[in-house]
Amino acid sequence: MSTERLPISVLRHRFFPGRWDLVAFVLVFGALAFLAHSAVGLTHPLSRLTSESISLSPWALPDYAAQTALRMLVAMVASLVFTFTYATLAAKSRRAAAVLIPLLDILQSVPILGFSFTIVFFLSLTPGRAAGAEMAAVFLVFTSQAWNMAFSFYHSLRSIPAELDEAARAFHLGPWMRFWRLEVPFAMPALIWNMMMSMSGGWFFVVAAEAISVGNTTVTLPGIGSYIARAIAARDLGAIGWAVAAMTLVILIYDQVIFRPLIASADWFRLEQEARLTPTRSWALTMMRRSRLLAFGGNAFSGLVRLGFNRGSAPQHRWRPWRAGPRGRLGDVLWFTGVAALAGFVIWRTGQYILAHVTPLQVLHVVGLGGLTLLRVLVLIALASVIWVPIGVYIGLRPRVAAAIQPVAQFLAAFPANLLFPVAVSAIVTYKLNPNIWLSPLMILGTQWYILFNVIAGASSLSSELKEVGSNFRVRGWLWWRRIALPAIFPFYLTGAITAAGGSWNASIVAEVADWGHHHLVAAGLGAYIAQATAAGSFARTVLGIVVMSVIVVTLNRVLWRPLYARAERKYRIS
C-alpha cells in the first residue's frame, strides 16, 4: 500500500538525530560504561570488603554513591519482576491468593532488617566472592520495596473495570497481550506511586545494608552506607556532611531521571477520561518521547512483547476466581486443609525452635520490650501530629506555598534519615543525655514527613466552596478546625500516620542502638533487642524478636489503623 494514503499522523519518520538524542546518547552510554565498571567489582574477593578499604576522602564519594544507586536500581528491577509474577499469580488463582495474600501481609509486617540473617545464605552461594554480599544487600533493599508494590498490583488486577475486562476477552486477547495491553497499563498509576514509596524506604535500608554484621560475618560493601559507618568509627563529622550531600544529589538525580518521567507518564494511564488541565512536566520524559534513539529501543521492546501476543489463543476459561462452583468445593477443602496443616507445622516448629533456646520468661521480657517500642512509636506519632498537622494545614491552604513545600516534604521523606543519626548521636554523647529518651526521636526523623505531605495534600484538596462556606458563615477558630479543617484532612492524615508508624517500627532497629566512635548507646526496646541479637549471631533470639514485632504490627493494623481508616473513608470522604 502506498504511503500517500496513510494519514500524516501515522507516517514513519526518517531518523534524524535531534538535540534530545544527544542528551539520550550521553545518558545511555554513560550508564552502560558505569554498569560494566561495577560488574567487575562483583568478582572481587570477599577479603577486600573490609571497612579499612573504605576511603573517607570526598573524592571517593561519587563512585560510592553510584554503586549505592545501582544497588537500588537492581533491587527495584527485582521488585518489579516479583510484583508482576507474584501478584498476577495471586490475582488469577483463588487458591493461590488464599495463601499468597496473607503471606504478603505477614512479610510486610516483618521488620526489614530482620531479613539480615539471610546474608549468611547469600555469601555461601558465591564462596569468597563479593557477589554474594552484593546479592544480600540487594535482597535487603528488595524486602523493603517489593511487598507494597505487589499489593498495589494485586489490588489493581482485582479492580479492572468489568467493561475493559470484557472488551479484552471479547476481542480475544491472549494472556500475554492482556497483561501488557490491559493489566500493566491499568495498574501503572498506583504502581508508580508505590514504587516511589518503596524507593523512600529503600534508601534507608540500602544505607543500613551496606555495612552489616551478622555474628562473625561482617560485610562492608563500597557505598555511601559503608562510608558513613567508617565515618562513625572515625568520629568524622565532616565526612558525614559530604555523605549527606552526595546522597541528596543521588536522590535528586533519581527523582529527575526516573520518577518525574514515571509520574508524568502515569497521567497517561489514568482511567479518568477527562484531559488533565495541568499535566506533570518532566524534561526526561520529553527526552524519551522526542529522542529517536530511545524510541528505537522502545519499539524494539514493544516488538518483543508483541511477538507473544497470540500465545495461548483466546482464553477459554472464564476468569471468575472468586466464585467457586459446587464442583470446586472438594478441591478447596483439600487445598485449604493442606495449607492450614503446613502453616500449623511451621508455627509449631518455629515455636519449638525458639523455646529450645529461650526461656518463657525471656519471651515475656521481649514482649515487654515490644511494649516499650510501641509506646515510643505512639508518643512520637502523637508529637509529630501535633507539630505537623497545623503546619500542613497552613501550607495546604496556600497553593503557592504548597507548590513550593510539597516537593521538599517528599524529598525529606525519601532521604535516608539514618545518615543524620551520627549527628544526633554525637550530640547525645557530648552532652551525656539519656539514650532511652533521646535516641527515640531518631525513629521518626525520616518518617514524620509522611504526615506532613499527606496533610498538605488533604488541605489542598479542600474545595474552595467549603472554604467559602466557612468564611460566609464566619466559622472561625477552634470551630473552624473541628468542623472544616480536621474532617477534611482526616483520611489523608491517617494515610500519613499509618505510613509513618510502619516506617518507625522498621527504623527502631537502627535507631535504638547507635555508635559514635567507641561509645555504644542503647535504648531499651524491641528494635535494640533485634539489632543486638543479629549482631551476636543468635538466630533464635532474632527470630523471637521478629515474631513479636510482626505480631504487634499486624495487631496494631487490625485493631487500630484499619477500623480507623474504614471509618474515615465512610464518614469524611467527599465523593
Partner 1 sequence: MNANPQIHAEPLLQVQGVGKSFWKSDGDEVVVLDDVSLTLRRGEIVGLLGRSGSGKSTLLRLIAGLDAPTQGAVRYLGAPVAGPAAGIAMVFQGFALFPWLTVLGNVQLGLEAMRMPEAQMRKRSLEAIDLIGLDGYESAYPRELSGGMRQRVGFARALVVHPNILLMDEPFSALDVLTAETLRTDFLELWSQGELPIGSVLLVTHNIEEAVQMCDRLLIFSTHPGRVVSEIPVDLPQPRGALDPAVRALVDRVYVEMTARPRIARAGQRAEPVAAVARIDMPLEHVSTNLLSGLIEAVSAPPYEGRADLPAIAQALHMEADDLFPVAEALQTLRLAEVEGGDIRLTDAGLAFARSETDERKNLFAHQLLAHVPLAAHVRHVLDERSAHLAPKSRFLDELEDYMTEQSAEQTLRALISWGRYAEIFAYDDQRQLFSLENPA
Please report, as ranges, the residues that interact with partner 1 according to CB under 8 A. Answer: 1, 5-7, 9-10, 161, 163-164, 166-167, 169-174, 177, 181-182, 185, 188, 268-275, 306, 309-310, 314-318, 323, 325-326, 570-571
Rounded to a whole number of angstroms, the minimum distance from the CB of residue 423 to partner 1 is: 46
What count of other Cβ atoms lies within 10 Å of the Cβ of residue 314?
A: 12
Please give the Cα distance from 214 to 130 (Å, whole number).
16
**CA-CA distance, 539 to 545, in Å (whole number)?**
10
Query: 212 in helix, strand or coil?
Result: strand
Complex with partner 1: residue 173 or 443, whichever CB lies closer: 173
Q: How far is the CB of 195 from partner 1 (least distance, A)?
A: 18
- For CA atoms 297, 300, 304, 309, the dihedral sign is positive
**Which residues have C-beta within 8 Å of that of residue 369, sequence separation ≥ 6?**
524, 525, 526, 528, 529, 548
Nearer to partner 1, 174 or 371 (CB): 174
Q: Residue 516: beta bridge partners?
A: 519
Least CB distance to partner 1 at residue 173 (A) = 5
Query: Least distance in Å: CB of 559 to partner 1?
Result: 19
Query: 174 vs 241, which CB is nearer to partner 1?
Result: 174
Contact 562, 477 (CB under 8 A): no
- Least distance (Å) between residue 166 CB and partner 1: 5
Could you tell me the smallest distance in angstroms from the CB atom of residue 163 to partner 1?
Answer: 4
Residue environment code for 136-154, b if the CB has 16+ CB neighbours within 10 A, otherwise e: bbbbbbbbbbbbbbbbbbb
Name the residue nearer to partner 1 (CB basis): 41 or 174: 174
Q: Which is nearer to partner 1, 317 or 474 (CB)?
A: 317
- Least Å distance, CB 551 to partner 1, is 30
Residue with the three cell numbers 518525574:
260
Nearer to partner 1, 166 or 468 (CB): 166
- Whichever of 325 and 477 has its CB closer to partner 1, that residue is 325
Q: Report the residue number, 180 or 335, with the smaller CB distance to partner 1.
A: 180
Q: How many CB atoms lie within 10 A of CB 242?
A: 19
73 or 568, CB closer to partner 1? 568
Question: Quick one: 7 or 477, whose CB is closer to partner 1?
Answer: 7
- Residues whose CB falls within 8 Å of the CB of residue 430, separated by 6 or more in sequence, listed in order: none
Q: How far is the CB of 336 from partner 1 (least distance, A)?
A: 16
> b/e string for 67-84 if b means 16 or more Cβ within 10 A?
bbbbbbbbbbebbbebbb
Spatial contact of 444 and 380, defined as CB atoms under 8 Å apart: yes
First to last CA, the chain: 51
CB of 344 to partner 1, least distance (A): 26
Q: Are 513 and 531 in contact (CB under 8 A)?
A: yes
- Judged by beta carbon, residue 271 or residue 333, the one nearer partner 1 is 271
Q: Could you tell me the smallest distance in angstroms from the CB atom of residue 279 to partner 1?
A: 11
**Whole-angstrom distance, CA of residue 373 vs CA of residue 443:** 10
Q: How many CB atoms lie within 10 A of CB 118?
A: 15
Beta strand ranges found along 272-384 (DSSP E)? none
Cα–Cα distance between 351 and 382 in angstroms, integer? 35
67 and 38 Cβ atoms separated by less than 8 Å: yes
Give the chain's count of helices (H) and strands (E): 27, 4
Query: In degrees rounded to 5, what are phi and psi of residue 205?
Result: -85, -20
Listed residue (369, 364, 377, 384) closest to 560, CA to CA: 377
Closest approach of partner 1 to the CB of residue 324, in Å? 9
Task: Decide whether 17 or 563 has the Cβ nearer to partner 1.
Answer: 563
Tell me whether residue 185 or residue 537 sits nearer to partner 1 (CB atom): 185
Give 317 or 400: the residue with its C-beta nearer to partner 1. 317
Q: Residue 44 gets which letter from DSSP?
A: S
Grid cell of 298 as nine digits = 522502545
Smallest gap from residue 185 Cβ to partner 1 (A): 4
Q: Which residues contact 539 (CB under 8 A, 6 or more apart)?
A: 117
Q: How far is the CB of 1 from partner 1 (least distance, A)?
A: 5
Q: Is 341 exposed, middle or buried (0-12, 13-18, 19+ CB in 10 A)?
A: exposed
Least gap, CB of 285 to partner 1 (angstroms): 15
Q: Are 509 and 116 in contact (CB under 8 A)?
A: no
Joined together, the cell numbers standing for residue 79 give: 521488585
